[in-house]
Amino acid sequence: AGNSEQEDLYLANINKIQRAAVEKSRLGIPIINGRDIIHGSKTIFPIPLAQAATWDYDLIKDAASVMSEEASHDGVHWTFAPMLDICCDPRWGRIIECPGEDPLLGQLMARASVDGIQGEDMSKPGKLAACAKHYIGYGASDGGRDKDPTEWSDYSLRNRALPAFREAVNSGIATVMSAFNEISGQPVSASRYHLTDILRGELGFSGFVVSDWDAIVRLKCQGISDNDETSATLAINAGVDMDMVDCLYKNNLKKAVEDGKVSMDTIDEAVRRVLSIKFKLGLFENPYFDEGNYDDKIMTSEYLEKALE
């Protein structure tokens, strides 16, 4: 939240939204509440780039555990972290979120973050679903210009960008976020090769893929689509299961199925993947968060000492 007024509004409404989904909708499926909890919720830790520089698995895991514990008390189920982009250009403004330029450090950050955020069972109190982002190649945008195209040979992609995501998958990460960028002219959020053949086929990822913010509507700007239905069709057929923010799935997929552009099997598989994570989070058993006062569990002396360390 940007300020206390916004935070109060958020906390006052999250259970109301969940109650509408669970008690007043046709299917009673709970929402999954995702937020950008990057390097701390209330207790703030060093930026991920600095955390990676410690080479300390236990310290990074502890930081992730603390932020998950605090965020879960605010009704958060899912964090858009860790960011695992490999980046060598300091002009890129988001370099602070990533582990830097070393694939080995990326693997360390992936394992420690997933272990801290999700634990052995993400349905347990104080745990969240993690999201590895931005899959893939986003941190190598031309000239450090955010969202610009990237040029990766398959060799470089597999040996530099992919290892951290492979480690996240091997650590059991629940979700992956598809990136804005193109790779050699192909937007990743419409690339079946990257999202299905490699991520699912080679790495064995079984969770769900969510697009980055407005990544699907951007397919028109990237020149491979001339309308919203085509953009939604390209993304879901490539392997993007959930559409973030731009509502292209909500507004276009029914017609795309009727037009024969998307199969019901594809829709069912995307739904199955999202529901499976909601089940693993325990949302069907415990959809609501306790709105009680958790001051004794926020910014505790133990957490502050860990941040100082």
The residues assigned a catalytic role are 212
Amino acid at the residue 235 = A
Half-sphere exposure of 27 toward its Cβ, with a 13 Å CA cutoff? 6
The H-or-E segment that residue 132 falls in is: strand 131-135
Degrees, nearest 5: CA angle 206-207-212: 130
Q: Which ranges of the chain would DSSP assign to H, the alpha helix?
A: 4-23, 48-52, 57-72, 103-118, 154-156, 162-170, 192, 228-238, 248-258, 264-280, 301-308
Give, in order, the Cα–Cα distances in Å from 212 to each of 49, 55, 134, 188, 309.
21, 28, 8, 11, 33
Tokens representing 238 are: 């490539």
- Cα gap 249→256, rounded to integer Å: 9
